[in-house]
Structure 1
Amino acid sequence: MSLAMRYSTATLSLLLLRTVAVKASYCFYVGKNLTVDGSVMVAGTGEEVSGHWLQLFSAQDYPPNATLSVGVTEDAALPGKRIQIPQAQHTYRYLSMEYSDFEGFPAPLTNGGLNEHGVYVRDVWAQNREELVAMTPNPQAGVNYGELARIVMERARTAREGVEIIGRLMDEYGEATYGGNTHLIADKDEGWVVWEFAGGKHLWAAERLGDNDIRVLYPGYIEDFPVNFANSSNYMGAPHLVEFAIQQGWWDPQGNRSFNIWEVYGDTNNNATARNGGYKYMSQAELEDATRAMIPLNEKKLMERHRDIRIADDQSGYGQVVSLHEGIDPDMRRLWVASTGAVAAPFVPWWLGVQSIPPEAGLHRYLYDQASSEFLNTDYQYQEASEFVFRIFKRVLYYMCSNPHEYHPIVTEMLVGFENQSFIEIEAWVERGAQVLIDNDERDSARELLTYYSHSRLYKAMEIGKTIAAALESHVKLTGHWKTPRGDLINDGGSGNATVTCLVGLNPDRPKWDQD
């Protein structure tokens, strides 16, 4: 293929990407000086048109020559080929929400999760400038965004080590990209934003977040960056990060402009800035300011921020909130998970010490890629016969947002009430009992206790979800508000303009019922 043809193909893919508007996943970071208990706190959601399920991955040992298949396929918007890279000889235990589909990115995919060392990682989209995306080879090769997140969970003992792992992978293999991506990696001491750039040039940059920082990624961003970053403990990046920008004429070292990663490598179309891109109903700046207004933060407050109707809608595939503490036993590391967007589902606590995930929270065919094209594998017949928590709370979302003036406050009150009960029980006996068992060398019993509680809370949440959905359905039908579809197009055609939400219009300060 000639260079001109390759550039043309990349440009066409770029236009496709911009038309589809690849925007997925929120992430909130709160430094430990801004939290009630001195923990680093992180929250996030995945935004994918896909099935989502919770999965626990055990620690594994691999033979010396084991390899890992990574990359994207020819079906990606920026086509690629899969390659083999060395697998680690030992991988750590971790808990993550998996999902099933992104074009050309083989399932299962992940945005990230929490590992046994208390390292938490999330990926968030971060589109790059058009010229850089157009440089992406066809076919491209490298490690895709989900694989980077998974490898960090498998191998990192600290957030800084997670950044170094991504850096080494970027330096050696590069990223198989869809146009640019970031990862937020955090532990009990700090957070890092890592931005992997498109173009096949092995470019990346990372910025440390400290004790007093609040950062919201949507999209991910890094701003001012030191030219001599190799001499700083707060920044990392590709060795040629600055040199490449100079060569391309994107930054002039003799000018008055600082080396700003967003301005040099980011998508600044429509005068978008790093913190005021105008994405969805609230910009990054507005979300950061709203979060800072709630300090000191605790998990309850971050859950409230997370389920704000101005950012939580049908695109939110799930929610997560985590506090990263000093001196926590690996089995006692806790991750709160909402099985759909938190606006319509309660957070349920899960510990790294749980022994299993119930089938009701596991993989189901609902929204799974190509599920409608084939019959069920008999190996999954029991799993598929079970109820699916994701589907239960999607029903709640669709009914609740049909009349948010009446339904949203009531549903929210019930979700928060459920979570408050969990907080009370966790403090009163669950974690206290599990820690006593661990201290007395009864770790298996501690794991059984944690497993029992997480499972029982999930089942209780499902009962509540079914009750809410049934009540809303009855009210809709008995009051004559049921609406039969007027057309035959069940999907929105990828426009993104018809997303089910409890908020309409473009004014983030006025909920839907004030605009009717």
Structure 2
Amino acid sequence: MMRKRYSLKPVMLAVLLLALSPPVWASYAYYVGKNLTDEGAVMIGGTGEEVSSHWLEIMPAEDHSAEDTVGVGVTADAGIPGELIDIPQAEHTFRYLSMSYSDFEGFPEPLTNGGINEHGVAVRDVWATNRQELIDMTETPQQGPQYSDLARLVLERVTTAREGVELIGELIDQYGYSTYGGNTHLIADENEGWVVWEFAGSQGLWAAERLGPDDIRVLYPGYIEDFPTNFEDDPDYMGAENLISFAEEQGWYEGEGDFNVFDVYGRQDTQARTGGYKYMSQADVEEALRDLVPISEREMMNQVRDYRIADDEAGYGQVATLKADTDADMQRIWVAPTSSVAAPFIPWWLGVQEVPMEYGQHRYLSKGAASTFLNPDFQVQEASDFAGRRFKQVMYLMCEQPERFHGSVTELLEGFEQDSFDDLNWVETSAQTLIDQGKRDEARQLLTFYSQERAEDALALGDTLVDWLNASLELRDQRRRPQGVLPNDQGGETVNCLVDADPDKPRNAQ
């Protein structure tokens, strides 16, 4: 039976499921094939949903010695206890940009959902819970790279999305996999995307499905459904050697008929495309994206910003168009410094040389901040305004009366972004011209200057919005004071801009 779109019954079920799950079971990822976009290029988008501070990092390319190693895995404090191990570092690691965060119990910081590297390979990490039997059979202490390790290693080491899938498979085969209960990655490049699902159970299980030029995929949770049993002979699929045979041994697959990865290995009390979501199912968002074909970056931003998706749980927003024949320094990604319902997308290029202090790591919502004093090395950065905090203020004030403020704030955010869109041609043409003339340092200076200026202008906009929203609430209504005892919530409704928390309620923005 079809569910009514956005009805509250599945919403309440989803809230219950999420409330019973660890906070890391979150994050959205969107993929749109290149035949379906206005620029004829693969497009991705998404959010990161963690109870943590988020900050922007641009990691440089580096050369390493044969003796260098990198630590991976989880500690004994993880929900499924593990132990950290060292694995060999690559001889050379690529430059990449990502949003980092600090807090998931037993998973060493800094963590990342992914980002984009100098070869135009983009990665997004998305929760994807496994069936309970797999979780229960996970050996402890578990070893091997975890979801953030895999995202980071892909960004550091691969030049295509297919290489990223192969790398994940090789790492799991060689070193194992540390899990909180199952996870997926969306890996994309200028030609294609791949959904990679890594499974709990300590059996080395993983599966991957290719997304082509005419595909749209939304992950929340991540999923793979129909899968050929002879996948080794199909270039659109990859997986562990025992992917099918292990399911047969466990009695989860009878060896005949369609092999549905979600039905066999996924959570057994929900559905792949219509279960486990908050206010819009994957199927709903996929349908909304397909209705927009050919899709522009502006339209993808609107989808990531949708108030049924971007709430207090969305620690940032990302949108990227992956174009062919793009210079390493010209790889571009739009990043909103916290939930994009209340924050503008800012363009960042891989050629940017330095992240402003205001967009770097701060103690707000960072792991351990409440029980430690400040590291003196960070005192000047900590004294700067923090973009994540500023736009959280915008969201909390705007969502106090969303029917009154949401439309106006959205209009201002989109206007700010349009100014950036209007500048892209001259900025990128000028930078590319400098690169073609052998003046790469000057091109990097231009890109750095422009991104930092837009970041500074964004903070100024945030200041103005906070002042206006505070004044509007104070002068007309008096600001509402809390009635509770503690500001920390233990799993109930998070702050959002739904009117009365109802996704079906009409909006009358003023």
Q: Same fold (TM over 0.5)?
A: yes
Paired residues of 1:112 and 1:123 also in contact (CA < 8 A): yes
When residues 407 and 279 of structure 1 are mapped into structure 2, their CA distance, relative to the original with a 3 A threshold, is same
Partners of 2:450 and 2:489 in 1: CA distance: 39
Question: 1:123 — aligned with what?
Answer: 125
Matched, 1:367 2:369: no
Secondary structure of 1:49's match? coil
Counterpart amino acid of 2:264? V
Question: 2:497 — aligned with what?
Answer: 502
Which structure 2 residues correspond to residues 250-265 of structure 1 after superposition, within 5 A? 250-254=252-256, 256=257, 258-265=258-265
Counterpart amino acid of 2:483? R
Paired residues of 1:503 and 1:511 also in contact (CA < 8 A): no
When residues 341 and 21 of structure 1 are mapped into structure 2, their CA distance, relative to the original with a 3 A threshold, is closer
Matched, 1:238 2:209: no
Paired residues of 1:16 and 1:77 also in contact (CA < 8 A): no
Paired residues of 1:354 and 1:448 also in contact (CA < 8 A): yes
Which structure 2 residues correspond to residues 437-448 of structure 1 after superposition, within 5 A? 437-448=434-445
Question: 1:4 — aligned with what?
Answer: none
Paired residues of 1:142 and 1:175 also in contact (CA < 8 A): yes
Partners of 2:409 and 2:19 in 1: CA distance: 36
Question: 2:413 — aligned with what?
Answer: 415
Q: Unaligned 5+ residue runs, structure 2?
A: 1-16
Paired residues of 1:50 and 1:99 also in contact (CA < 8 A): yes
Partners of 2:335 and 2:214 in 1: CA distance: 25
Question: 1:113 — aligned with what?
Answer: 115
1:446: Cα distance to partner? Answer: 0.5
Matched, 1:43 2:45: yes
Counterpart amino acid of 2:390? I
Paired residues of 2:402 and 2:499 also in contact (CA < 8 A): no
Question: 2:404 — aligned with what?
Answer: 406
Paired residues of 2:143 and 2:175 also in contact (CA < 8 A): yes
Give aligned pairs, total.
493
Question: 1:431 — aligned with what?
Answer: 428
Counterpart amino acid of 1:478? L
Partners of 1:312 and 1:349 in 2: CA distance: 19
1:20: Cα distance to partner? Answer: 4.0
Which structure 2 residues correspond to residues 310-349 of structure 1 after superposition, within 5 A? 310-349=308-347
Counterpart amino acid of 1:192? W
Partners of 1:315 and 1:253 in 2: CA distance: 41
Counterpart amino acid of 1:101? D
The structure 1 residue matched to 2:190, chosen from 188, 191, 205, is 188
Deviation sequence 1:123-154 (CA, Å, 0-9, x none): 00000000011011121111010000000000
1:508: Cα distance to partner? Answer: 3.6
Partners of 1:481 and 1:172 in 2: CA distance: 61
The structure 1 residue matched to 2:56, chosen from 54, 57, 80, is 54
1:434: Cα distance to partner? Answer: 0.6
Secondary structure of 1:432's match? helix
Partners of 1:19 and 1:381 in 2: CA distance: 36
Partners of 2:397 and 2:305 in 1: CA distance: 17
Deviation sequence 1:211-236 (CA, Å, 0-9, x none): 00000000000000000100010000
1:69: Cα distance to partner? Answer: 0.8
Which structure 2 residues correspond to residues 298-317 of structure 1 after superposition, within 5 A? 298-317=296-315
TM-score of the aligned structures, taking structure 2 as reference length: 0.95
When residues 442 and 164 of structure 1 are mapped into structure 2, their CA distance, relative to the original with a 3 A threshold, is same
Counterpart amino acid of 2:364? Y
Deviation sequence 1:102-132 (CA, Å, 0-9, x none): 1110100000000000000010000000001
Counterpart amino acid of 1:460? D
1:498: Cα distance to partner? Answer: 2.4
Partners of 1:400 and 1:240 in 2: CA distance: 51
When residues 90 and 21 of structure 1 are mapped into structure 2, their CA distance, relative to the original with a 3 A threshold, is closer
Deviation sequence 1:293-347 (CA, Å, 0-9, x none): 1110110010011101111100000000000001111111101000011110000
Partners of 1:422 and 1:502 in 2: CA distance: 25
Counterpart amino acid of 2:130? N
1:509: Cα distance to partner? Answer: 3.6
Question: 1:474 — aligned with what?
Answer: 471
When residues 152 and 182 of structure 1 are mapped into structure 2, their CA distance, relative to the original with a 3 A threshold, is same
Paired residues of 1:17 and 1:77 also in contact (CA < 8 A): no
Counterpart amino acid of 1:326? A
Partners of 2:162 and 2:93 in 1: CA distance: 17
Paired residues of 2:85 and 2:143 also in contact (CA < 8 A): yes
Paired residues of 1:281 and 1:506 also in contact (CA < 8 A): no
Matched, 1:267 2:264: no
Counterpart amino acid of 1:360? E
1:67: Cα distance to partner? Answer: 1.1
Matched, 1:96 2:60: no
Counterpart amino acid of 1:259? F
Question: 1:379 — aligned with what?
Answer: 377
Paired residues of 1:192 and 1:206 also in contact (CA < 8 A): yes
Secondary structure of 1:314's match? coil
Partners of 2:253 and 2:484 in 1: CA distance: 51
Question: 1:391 — aligned with what?
Answer: 389
Q: Which moved more, 1:475-484 or 1:357-366?
A: 475-484
Q: Which moved more, 1:372-381 or 1:152-161?
A: 372-381
Paired residues of 2:23 and 2:51 also in contact (CA < 8 A): no
Partners of 1:278 and 1:102 in 2: CA distance: 20
TM-score of the aligned structures, taking structure 1 as reference length: 0.93
